Amino acid sequence: MIKVALVDMDGTLYDSMPLHSRAWHRLTGELGIKADEDEFYLDEGMTGAATLNKLAMSAWGRTFDKAECDELYARKARYFREYDAPEVMKGARRVIDGLMARGIKCVLVTGSGQNSLLDRLDDDFPMAFPVDRRVTSRDVVNGKPHPEPFLRGAAIAGAAPEECVAIDNAPLGVESAYRAGVRTIGVCTGPIPPEVLKNAGADLVYSSMDALADDLDGALGIKQ
Ligand code: MG
């Protein structure tokens, strides 16, 4: 019986991934690192520091030190804020309202530390994600695809992994939830094809948040 929903933020609650990709691409251009704008969708869910170190390893065979990571992530976050604020993902409110109406406790599980979005959650999804029910990049040692973020989300809700369902749009997020032993729902909201989310361990894959909202009982394993 599902008691808790562990919900990703970027690309799941907000249509923010095109802007993150744009901001990362701008930063890599400045650093002289060749990158395709769409490749950042594959890294989605990793912490900023993990993404930066992956880029530095591939370009120069080294990692950034903490001060460099902090400066570069702050720069990327600044670029993200300069763009028009992202919209709430179509269908996301229906999913969250449906979960809450079924008495399912929501917990945010994001690799992000971007306050410009975290600060909007209370307005955009009232009562759904109180601050003590959020796992962000600041709360974990190992980000997605490591299982720690979803295990931590389950723990702060006082639930066992098998009492939780995860909702995530990214392959690394799905992998993280799968490795945490959580029933995992992948949602295709960007350029990543459904097979990639299936292969990462998703039990179910939906084509949009609206499609998930339409089949919420089925997704939660609730028999009609
Ligand atoms: Mg995401």
Q: Per-10-residue mean pLDDT for the chain, 224 residues long?
A: 96 95 96 91 90 95 96 95 95 98 98 91 97 95 96 98 98 98 97 96 98 97 78
**Residue 121's pLDDT is what?**
97
Angle at 161 between CA 156 and CA 167, to 5 degrees: 85
9 C-alpha vs ligand 1 centroid, how far in Å?
Answer: 6
Q: What is the pLDDT of residue 34?
A: 92
- Centre of ligand 1 to C-alpha 184, Å, is 13
Question: DSSP labels for 14-74?
Answer: B--HHHHHHHHHHHHHHHT----GGGGGTSTTS-HHHHHHHHHHHHHS----HHHHHHHHH
> Residue 223's pLDDT is what?
77
Give pLDDT, residue 45. Answer: 86
Q: How far is the CA of 179 from the centre of ligand 1 (A)?
A: 17
pLDDT at 224: 62
Give the distance (Å) from ligand 1 centre to CA of residue 189: 9
Query: What pLDDT does residue 88 have?
Result: 98
**What pLDDT sits at residue 144?**
94
